[in-house]
Chains A and B, each alone.
Chain A
């Protein structure tokens, strides 16, 4: 079973600060996704990256897939209270696209 380690586990910052969340593995993934989960709800897909070195931007969120496709990062610029939630990365390996391995998550709290 592939393992995806996320860091940090918890992050509490003030509105306007920048932050980066990391997702690391010793395994190579064919695709990697980031989800956000709010209390009492299921995870919601933010982005999928499939190419080594790929960078995708979603408003203030920037996602990067490592060149070797073993790691990924999520950078948030000027965090807002609405960014509060649990961020999960999830990877799939070639030939097993229907089987996702999830990281343990990073719980982010953004305060005023």
Chain B
């Protein structure tokens, strides 16, 4: 079954304790992204990756790191979490479609609800 998996699904942690949220996809997609979803603010892109070893900042990258050492995995790292990073996080994978008018159709994981105390 084609899917994007994230772990853990739920995490409660304390300020400053480093954590990693894993993301894996089995569709051989080139593109992967991380988003956070907050009430009233919608989905905002944190980082994205266009292929192995190629990553770039999204709209809200501060406080986060990513790596793309393998095509299927795209972990999100919070080196020193703070309460304002409490949020619902989604990983997504995609590949370009549409030919000349290319577009990117995202497949989302189930989400990770993170609480930083």
By a beta-carbon cutoff of 8 Å, the part of chain A in contact with chain B is 1, 30-31, 33, 35, 40-45, 48, 50-51, 88, 90, 92, 97-105
Contacts and interface: CB of A to CB of B under 8 A. Distances in A.
Interface residues of B, number: 31
Interface of B: 4, 31, 33, 35, 40-45, 48, 50, 58-59, 90, 92, 94, 96-98, 101-111
Given A43-B106, A45-B105, A103-B42, 11 more contacts: A43-B43, A43-B90, A48-B97, A50-B98, A88-B42, A98-B96, A99-B48, A100-B45, A100-B104, A102-B44, A104-B40
Contacts of A41: 110-111
Given A43-B108, A88-B43, A97 B102 contact: yes
B103 A48 contact: yes
A33 B43 CA distance: 14
